[in-house]
Amino acid sequence: MRGDLARLRLVTLTGPGGSGKTRLAEHAAAADPEPGWLVELARLDNPAAVPGAVLSALGLRESTLVAREKAPADDPAAQLVEHCANRRLLLVLDNCEHVIDAAAQLAEELLAHCPGVRILATSREPLGIPGETVRPLGPLPPDPAHRLFADRATAVRPGFAPADDPAAVAEICARLDGLPLAIELAAARLNLLTPRQIADRLDDRFRLLTGGARTVLPRQQTLRAVVDWSWDLLDEKERTVLRRLSVFAGGCDLPAAEAVCADPGTPGTPAAPGTPATPAAPDVLDVLGSLVDKSLVVAAPGPDADTGMRYHLLETIHEYAAERAAAHPADRAAAAHRHAAHFLALAEEAEPLLRGAGQLPWIRRVETELDNLRAALLHTTRTASVETGQRLALALGWFWWLRNYRSEGAEWTARIWETHPVEPPEGTPEYWRSMSLRMLHVFLVADGNAPGSLRTPENIAVGERIRRVFRSGGPESSRFPGILWPMTSLLTGNALDSRDFRDGLDESVENCRRHGRDWELGVTLMLRTHIGIDTTGGLSSVDADLAELHEIADRVGDRWTRSQVASAAGEVALSRGRYEWARSEYEECLRLAREVGAHMETPFVIARIAEAAFCSGDFAGAEQLLTEAAREADRHGGTPEISAYGGMLTALLALVRGDLARARAEWELARAAAANMSGPPQLAAGLGNIDAVLTAREQGPRAGLAKLAPALATAVAAHCAERVLASLADNAAALLAAAGRPAEAVRVLAAATAWRAGHPRSVAEQAAVGGLPDETRAVLGADRYAAEAAAGAELSPPEVAALVTEATRTAPVTGS
């Protein structure tokens, strides 16, 4: 500021009421080497009195000037020009907004004829004359705002310490937009309330903040008076636009402002919900610019270079404008209707683009407008605008899932359904919207819920209804979210690994081939691939689907699809013992997931990389990656999935290192997390496997077998992949051998080896059973060993599960 005054002839400080312009101007003038004169214009009610006010501030009496300068006595502006023509001085014209034209005219005349005069003006808006340099004063940053509150607070309550409740002080300063006068008025309330009580009452800030000093102008004694002063200076068009801007939440861009703030019936007003706006009436842009100039609307660049400027109201101005809008209910309702229509059109335009190569700017755009989209959804529920609400929710469904707004999306879909629970006639567009909304709700609530928690009688009936409707096929079943109808197994009680679920996926894939697009076909193929990898006998069938998925991902360009294809490829590699390849695929998955902002998936992918490192014998790397996965999960709110899966791997790592106490503690945490989610059966199998080995270490092999036998039987019944079953069987073989049952141990180990189909064991698995062949051969002899191994290689998973169960409960077991 000091540099500006030294080299510029006219500087105008602009900002909203209570922004501290006067205080800053006085400080700057006091530091200036030239003589400074403060001209207070706030009390003037006649613009013609501006030159006279400057004369009075300079201490000049009109009669003296007339006698000395021979200027006409009835022209104070001319007298000022003559007086200042050969002098060097600084004039501070304070609070020009209500006499802006007169102040601008006088300033221009003085600057034109008095080369030694410099002017520092304060105003809600610029003077608008040549040579003016505008310095907008935004809200105080947090630290200065906190210091101002503390300074004013100690004057009201001696001994006040902001450190006693820093959160409340920070909330007060933030919600009052860093406006100095508002902060001072809030601090004055400490004679009656605590900081927390003040913060909690800021929703009624205009009634709360009324304690200004009696010596200041009346318009500065209450917060309402400050804003009233600005409102009274607006013309009717400006007031109308400002009222209508209050329907926005989180600001808006120019097209949105034009669509919502234009007069009904003028260009820029949609005719019906979802109808894109035509070019707006030009005066909306002009009025918006005027409100920006008057510091009632804040303009700032949007998040992307190509999105243009964004406009928002400070919270105090927003609340005031909303109050004024409430006094015009019909106009406010019409503005809210246009607001919902505009953001419905935006959401429906964005919906397919969120899943393509150009998705990143669209994801950012929807994220930027999220508060407005929420406001539009709220409007539809309050006004029972069923079609608009359904369309808006369906357009946002994938965004909610991808960006982890799943719980919020589930709440919105439920609220929208509740506004119109009656099912429309079959086959109508309303019917398909209604059923798609139900399917979307199931998809969103399925994530992170405990097993069985969704299986209420009502939900089971809903799931069966959705399943019947979408299983019939056709175009509606080939679109998101209809493509996900096989997931209703979560509601009906059929496990996701069941034959019915897998048949449903096959049907959904074929329907998408007939009626769908690449992205939808990719999703159904991806679900089928993941199920195949995790299912007994499925690994050999996934290569064709995976090859097609690579082609689809390249065509679509969607980073989420590409990340999921890399994840599936990583799972295949892990299942086949190709651990470095698996790690490379998972790292590509992680890169793409981060790029698209799928934050809830990234910790799980990091844990999969840790699993690949663990399997290859890189235990130190696995530990570092698991720590990173936990940090990543905490950063984004945590999930039961990563707690369960990451905890299982951490327990396994501790077990391999011989740290039984930590292994048991991590296992307990993982088990508790798994109880709060609908986890896959391989997770339960992994936890059961660790529990059995730990129990054997703690209590002996018989106790371990008692845990392992049911875990194996459950995994077999759930059709877990051979890799999972083989790991359980490996440990069963080791425990059988330790329990003095070498023949059964050889058979079970041979069966596990056969199920692996030539794929190698992990480093830890090999270490667990590596000595078993020699030990059992020494006990049984070479011929008996060979016979048992040959017999075991022919055993199926159910037969091995039965063998282990029978060995556990029959003949005496030694070593326990």
With a cut of 80, say whether residue 730 has pLDDT above it. Answer: yes
Q: What pLDDT sits at residue 72?
A: 47
Return all residues near 145 (Cβ < 8 A) that are at least 6 apart: 139, 173, 178, 180, 183
Which band of pLDDT confidence, cut at 50, 70 and 90, is reported for residue 500? Answer: confident
List residues bridging with 12 in a β-sheet.
121, 134
Positions of E strands within 295-428: 298-301, 309-312
Using alpha carbons, select from 427, 363, 429 the residue that is nearest to residue 401: 363
User: Three-class SS of residue 424?
Assistant: coil
Rounded to whole angstroms, how far apart are CA atoms 578 and 125?
A: 68
Q: What pLDDT sits at residue 4?
A: 56
Output the CA–CA distances (angstroms, integers) from residue 684 to 491, 687, 691, in the order listed.
20, 5, 10
Q: How many residues does the chain have?
A: 816
Output the CA–CA distances (angstroms, integers) from residue 144 to 174, 272, 494, in the order listed.
12, 48, 60
Token code pair at residue 726: 């083989």
- Starting at the edge strand found earlier in the chain, the sheet holding 309-312 runs 252-253, 309-312, 298-301
User: Are 212 and 185 a contacting pair, CB within 8 Å?
Assistant: yes
Which band of pLDDT confidence, cut at 50, 70 and 90, is reported for residue 814? Answer: very low
Return all residues near 119 (Cβ < 8 A) that are at least 6 apart: 9, 10, 11, 90, 91, 92, 93, 107, 110, 111
Which band of pLDDT confidence, cut at 50, 70 and 90, is reported for residue 475? Answer: very high
Which range of 220-224, 538-542, 790-794 scores highest in mean pLDDT? It is 790-794
With a cut of 70, say whether residue 49 has pLDDT above it. Answer: yes
Output the CA–CA distances (angstroms, integers) from residue 81 to 77, 112, 122, 133, 479, in the order listed.
6, 9, 21, 22, 76
With a cut of 50, say whether residue 488 has pLDDT above it. Answer: yes
15-24, 143-152, 544-553: which has the minimum mean pLDDT? 15-24
Which band of pLDDT confidence, cut at 50, 70 and 90, is reported for residue 144? Answer: confident
Which band of pLDDT confidence, cut at 50, 70 and 90, is reported for residue 193? Answer: confident
Return all residues near 408 (Cβ < 8 A) that are at least 6 apart: 400
CA dihedral 440, 444, 445, 448 (to 10 degrees): 150
With a cut of 80, say whether residue 613 has pLDDT above it. Answer: yes
SS3 content of the chain, % helix, strand, coil (to 5): 70, 5, 25
Q: Tens digit of pLDDT for each residue in 274-326?
A: 444 444 344 889 999 999 988 889 888 887 766 789 999 988 889 889 999 99
Which band of pLDDT confidence, cut at 50, 70 and 90, is reported for residue 17? Answer: low
Q: What pLDDT sits at residue 275?
A: 44
Q: What pLDDT sits at residue 198?
A: 87
Output the CA–CA distances (angstroms, integers) from residue 692 to 472, 667, 702, 705, in the order listed.
45, 11, 10, 7
Q: Name the residue with higher pLDDT: 815 or 445.
A: 445
User: Are 402 and 354 a contacting pair, CB within 8 Å?
Assistant: yes
Angle formed at CA 345 by CA 339 and CA 349, multiple of 5 degrees: 145
User: Are 245 and 264 a contacting pair, CB within 8 Å?
Assistant: no
C-alpha neighbours within 13 Å on the C-beta side of residue 681:
25
Q: Tens digit of pLDDT for each residue in 76-117?
A: 899 899 999 999 999 999 889 889 999 999 999 999 999 999
Backbone angles phi, psi at 13, to 5 degrees: -90, 120
- The whole-model pTM stands at 0.83
Which band of pLDDT confidence, cut at 50, 70 and 90, is reported for residue 492? Answer: low
Rounded to whole angstroms, how far apart are CA atoms 622 and 613?
A: 5
Using alpha carbons, select from 467, 469, 392, 483 the residue that is nearest to residue 432: 469
User: Are 803 and 744 a contacting pair, CB within 8 Å?
Assistant: yes
